[in-house]
């Protein structure tokens, strides 16, 4: 059964994609964040451009920092953003 994942973007990722969030239907055989990023990169050139250098991106699943190799499993929200620079 396909799942719906909420994807949120921040900072220049949000600006360059022109949106802060989207809901996406995830194929049942999709495993990691990396797989999802690959899938998105094939969908449209702006994804391909934003995801071109993965060393510049960080990820959180259900509001916990994680690595691109993490399995999405039953997470409800994936966040994609540049390294944080607060404080």
11 binds other proteins (CB under 8 A): yes
Residue closer to other proteins by CB (options 22, 38) is: 22
In sequence order, which residues have a C-beta less than 8 Å from that of residue 25 and are 6 or more positions away? Answer: 2, 3, 4, 5
Tokens of 81: 């953003």
Number of residues that bind other proteins (CB under 8 A): 17
Tokens of 67: 């690595």
Q: What residue ranges in 1-87 does DSSP mark as E strands?
A: 3-9, 21-26, 58-61, 64-66, 77-81
Which residues in 33-72 contact other proteins (CB under 8 A)?
A: 60, 63, 65
Residue closer to other proteins by CB (options 10, 47) is: 10
For binding to other proteins (CB under 8 A), which residues are involved? 8, 10-12, 14, 60, 63, 65, 77, 79, 81-87
């Amino acid at each position: 059964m396909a799942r719906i994942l909420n994807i949120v973007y921040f900072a220049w990722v949000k600006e360059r994609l022109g949106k802060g969030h989207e809901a996406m239907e995830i194929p049942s055989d999709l495993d990691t964040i990396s797989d999802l990023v690959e899938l998105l990169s094939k969908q449209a050139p702006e994804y391909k451009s934003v995801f071109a250098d993965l060393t510049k991106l960080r990820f959180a699943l259900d509001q916990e920092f994680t690595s691109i190799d993490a399995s999405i499993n039953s997470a409800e929200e994936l966040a994609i953003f540049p390294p944080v620079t607060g404080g």
